[in-house]
Structure 1
Amino acid sequence: MNGPLLFNPRFTVVGESADWIVVDKPAHLLCHPTNPDNPPTLLDGLRGLLAFELANGAALSIITRLDRDTSGLVLVAKNAHTARHFGKAMERGEFRKTYLAIVSGWPENDSWTVDAPILRKGEVAESPIWVKQLVHPAGKPCRTHFDVVERRTRTRPESEGPPLAFALVRCRPETGRMHQIRVHLAHSGHPVIGDKIYGPDETCYLDFIESGWTEDLEKRLLLDRHALHAHQLEVDDHAWTSPLPTDLGQFLWPETRGSAVQPT
């Protein structure tokens, strides 16, 4: 791998009780290990933070997992009873999640809903990316609601071509399939900025796996991670919020260095 390793282990605690903890996960941090060669994960960091509780019988279960490059709120149960409670609440559809995404282009409508089933592409066609999903009638039911928060433009890198049009979109998934929001936005014609799989070309992902982050990928993707953030999470009588992180704020509002008023 030629390019730099993208990794950020610095999560912050948003809320905590004897039974659960909610953290704000940065991009470039896996929630849990996927192979022995992984850099430290969010779960590793939580085990260190909660070492005393673990020594006294706690057992951590990540309830709302995020992709490595998705930032934002992650709910973790501290014991089996709480994990079962949240698991059943998720099965009943009692979790309310809101994400913020920066997408390519200006959506025609201010609000729209995508009701389109999703499955893994490799189940119906050849795919060099095992995890890639696509909209397909044989897939599992999926529904996502979208609302445009703001439409923006910015100069392209090295001022090549017309200004880049993009939009900040609020996303509210009713279901929780793998890559659902990213797939539904790409299906709508507005892929998430920085998305290596569903963005301009899936070879971005293959090139990244082969060579790491490079200047060529920066020109093609604009961001070193997909611009998707888990902004709000509600369940039972609990509600948590994570503001848009600095890197996405700087992309949206470069003239203010990302310090513009956060969307609600």
Structure 2
Amino acid sequence: MTTETLVNAQPTVAPSRAILPTGFGRLLLVEARKLVNTRAGRWLLVIAVLASIGAAALSVAYFPERTVSAVFFFSFLPLGLLVPVVAILTATAEWSQRTGLTTFALEPRRGRVVAAKLVVSLLAGVAIMLVSGVFTYAAAGIGALAGQSWDGWALDLGVLAGPALNLMLLMLQASAFGLILLNTPSAVVLYFVLPQVWTTVVGFVPWLASRAAWLDLNAATEPMFTSLPDMTGQHWLQLACATALWVLVPLAAGVWRFLRAEVK
């Protein structure tokens, strides 16, 4: 081989493999795995399910109204209290579990990450309600085998839709507090304490008490537990106003904080 041939030879470079972006479905699977990937998340879900079973069993044993809808309503109460904490754990995972560097290195577009967290939180709420429905029918079936007479076996969609929508709002509110603080204990305390303190203040201040349905999410969601189709236009306006104040504004602030927070 001559010197001229060596000089004119072009180096060969092996083509690099294309790096494909992380799909949103993969992000959903990752965030869903985080729900049960820690002892706190697993035990919280287990306690919520056990509390739902216990509430359903007690309502079958002692509540005089023999309808599946009534049993479901009682089994839902522990879920509305405990399950939103799962949304807080999901929102604060990168900071409480020190996984932020890994998460944002694999998916630097934080907007997609926070969207996956919100979707998974809502899907977790839907899943836990379906599980509660299964336990409701199981408890009612056991009661029927024990000799109880039941007035109806069909779930009233109007009764079901109200708790379902309320749980979705609570999940988003809990996510908002988690995204704002990015600290699990502080977010849990804020989620449980702040709305109750506000409800107490509204009850003691006459000017606020007369506008409670517009400013307090607890008061605005109360008509949903009677029958969602029976809500009037004013009820929906009050719900929209209270939701904007207690869910949308905190959620917007939380997303802004999540997108700009420094990972240490």
Q: State the TM bucket, normalised to the shorter chain.
A: under 0.3
Question: TM-score, length-normalised on structure 2?
Answer: 0.24
Higher helix residue share: 2
Greater relative CO (CA pairs within 8 A, separation 6+): 2
Larger-Rg structure: 2
Question: TM-score, length-normalised on structure 1?
Answer: 0.24
Higher strand residue share: 1
